[in-house]
Structure 1
Amino acid sequence: MTKLLVTGAAGHLGRAVLRHLLETSKVAAADIVAASRDPNKLADLAASGLKTRAADFDDEAGLVKAFTGVDRVLIISTDELATPGKRITQHRNAVSAAAKAGVKHIIYTSMPNPDKSLVTFAPDHLGTEEAIKASGVAYTILRNSWYHDNYLMGMPHNLQVGKWYTSVGTGKITTISRDDCARAAAAALANPPAGSRTFTLTGSETLTAAEIAARASAATGKPLDVVDVTDEQLTQGLTGAGLPAFVANMLVSADANIRAGNFEQVTSDYETLTGQKPQTLAAYFDTQKAALAA
């Protein structure tokens, strides 16, 4: 029997991947290992028949132990963004541990165009991809586009005040739901393509800020005007609102990346992996009316 392990199993993406492994890919619970820095957060999964293990990305020896006896590992990128250099070190630990443990296939959640992206954390993804390719282990790299879900962070406030301050200009972005990325990851983990492949998971349309605002307005019935600002003005506004500097810089860099056209990409890779069409942003907003109107 093939053993599959999901890191970050306590997080939103990890839990969604586990759900799709069980419900969509029809993998037996006994063949799935859910791993997290804090296994106590996985008690409900253990109760449902999944194996659970501790997996601390700061502890390579512990990761080797967690990955031993596993055929395929999904390495979900960590959320360690506050300390420069820490995330890439964690990822390299996980890749090295997978190779040492004899894992046959690595699946990794990356981002579109990490080699030219302006987003602050892009070097972490590029460095991880390079480490995976150098490991000698077969791989499937999933370059997840910006999540629909990310708009739930700022859009409710934007809708409340009726204005969305952004520096994307006329740039366009392709987004995809986190759940669709989880479905694709589960499919790749359960039945990886032969050899080593890189897929870019996107939605089916590219949208300007005005078009995104129109969809948010349609879902909530609230007007929303897009206000163009400079990167500097956006940084001042975000830090003035109390966001930590690294978060503000990340959000501004994402706008700059959209403006540069680096998020404007549509592929059929999601459909190739899952056999389904991705959920549109409009449909996602319709399912999130309460959250958007909060």
Structure 2
Amino acid sequence: MTAKYLVTGASGHLGQHVIHHLLETSGVAASDIIAASRKPEQLASLAEKGVQVRRVDFDDPASMDAAFVEAEKVLIISTDTLDRPGHRLVQHRAAIAAAEKAGVKHLLYTSMPEPANSPLLFAPDHEGTETEIRASAIPAWTILRNNWYFENVMISAGPALASGHWYSAAGDGGIAHIARDDIARATAAALVAAASDKKVYTLTGSSSYTHRDIAAAVSKTAGREITVIDVPVEGLVQGMVGAGLPEPVARVFASIDTMVGIGGLATITGDFKALTGAEPQPFEAWVESQAATFKAMTA
């Protein structure tokens, strides 16, 4: 029987890239791919290519029962429900249970580096999901602990280029970011790989960069100087609240700096190359490719 690859969150950025690599890099037939999303109406272009489109909502067990039928390999892309503490773990548990019920042979999940005992406020969602996967009866699973995307730099770069200041509570901690498309490429490779075991991969770039390193690279490309200003975590929180963010959300973002500061995102691995046979895209090359966007942020 031909394997069916199901990708949840298929209307999101990562899901779209994973499906692209299944089709174009791994050469999977469109008819063997199931794109599942809460918003299936956004997947018309995939349906036109012959990809099966199904509605799936992790808050609706019946939708998962229907979506997971005939799927031998399922990729659970972690949901973006960050405004309701603990709910994301409830959603992931429901998806794992549905996959188990459907007889899925290989389950993949997008996690984060070092989720255990992490100061990151949403790390327990990932740690708990990993625990559920390990305890399940699913024969094979792959946990992909993804480092931060290069694209996340845009969140800080906009305000920093506009003001000339980057407020950071990360100290000299580094981040071994990796391009979102590289994460997708490795994920697609893990999906199509013969899987009869249980593995954890940590997907990172080939170098680690501090906030000062990142600011310097962006400054050079944008043509505007950014000064990194060290602040305590509470100061970072209050600054974001003052800029209009709800305090719970501000504390989640500030906890990222805390994790960076203790080195939680600095580890570099060779797992991307192990899965793809290639080196990850260099951060400097990505920054240069975004020159027009960065320059527009200075206007």
TM-score interval (norm. to shorter): over 0.9
- In the alignment, which residue of structure 2 is the partner of 1:197? 199
Root-mean-square deviation (CA, aligned residues, Å) is 1.1
- In the alignment, which residue of structure 2 is the partner of 1:110? 111
- In the alignment, which residue of structure 1 is the partner of 2:124? 123
Q: 2: CA distance between counterparts of 1:250 and 1:177?
A: 22
| Structure 1 segments unaligned to the other structure (5+ residues) | none
1:20 aligns with 2:11: no
- In the alignment, which residue of structure 1 is the partner of 2:152? 150
- In the alignment, which residue of structure 2 is the partner of 1:183? 185
Cα drift, residue 193 of structure 1: 4.5
Q: Is the 1:72–1:189 Cα contact (8 Å) retained in structure 2? A: yes
- In the alignment, which residue of structure 1 is the partner of 2:290? 288
Q: TM-score if structure 1 supplies the norm length?
A: 0.97
Q: Is the 2:106–2:195 Cα contact (8 Å) retained in structure 1? A: no
Aligned ranges for residues 224-235 of structure 1 at < 5 Å?
224-235=226-237
Paired residue type of 2:236: L
1:215 aligns with 2:236: no
- How many residues are aligned here? 294
Aligned ranges for residues 232-247 of structure 1 at < 5 Å?
232-247=234-249
Q: 1: CA distance between counterparts of 2:177 and 2:196?
A: 27
Query: Where do 4+ consecutive residues of structure 1 move more than 4 Å?
Result: none
Q: Is the 1:61–1:97 Cα contact (8 Å) retained in structure 2? A: no
SS in 2 for 1:158: helix
Q: Is the 1:219–1:282 Cα contact (8 Å) retained in structure 2? A: no
Q: 2: CA distance between counterparts of 1:231 and 1:261?
A: 16
Q: 2: CA distance between counterparts of 1:192 and 1:283?
A: 33
- In the alignment, which residue of structure 1 is the partner of 2:6? 5
Paired residue type of 1:257: M
Q: Is the 2:75–2:107 Cα contact (8 Å) retained in structure 1? A: yes
| Structure 2 segments unaligned to the other structure (5+ residues) | none
Cα drift, residue 147 of structure 1: 1.1
Paired residue type of 2:14: L
Query: In the TM superposition, what whole-angstrom CA distance separates every residue of 1:22-79 from its partner, at most 9, and x where no partner exists?
Result: 1111111010000001211111211111000011000123212211111100000000
Cα drift, residue 191 of structure 1: 1.4
- What is the aligned counterpart of 1:260 among 246, 262, 267? 262
SS in 1 for 2:237: helix
SS in 1 for 2:279: coil
Q: 2: CA distance between counterparts of 1:246 and 1:132?
A: 28
Aligned ranges for residues 169-180 of structure 1 at < 5 Å?
169-180=171-182
Q: Is the 1:174–1:205 Cα contact (8 Å) retained in structure 2? A: yes
1:133 aligns with 2:140: no
Paired residue type of 2:99: A
Cα drift, residue 210 of structure 1: 1.2
Query: In the TM superposition, what whole-angstrom CA distance separates every residue of 1:233-286 from its partner, at most 9, and x where no partner exists?
Result: 100111110112232111100000011111110000000001111112211111
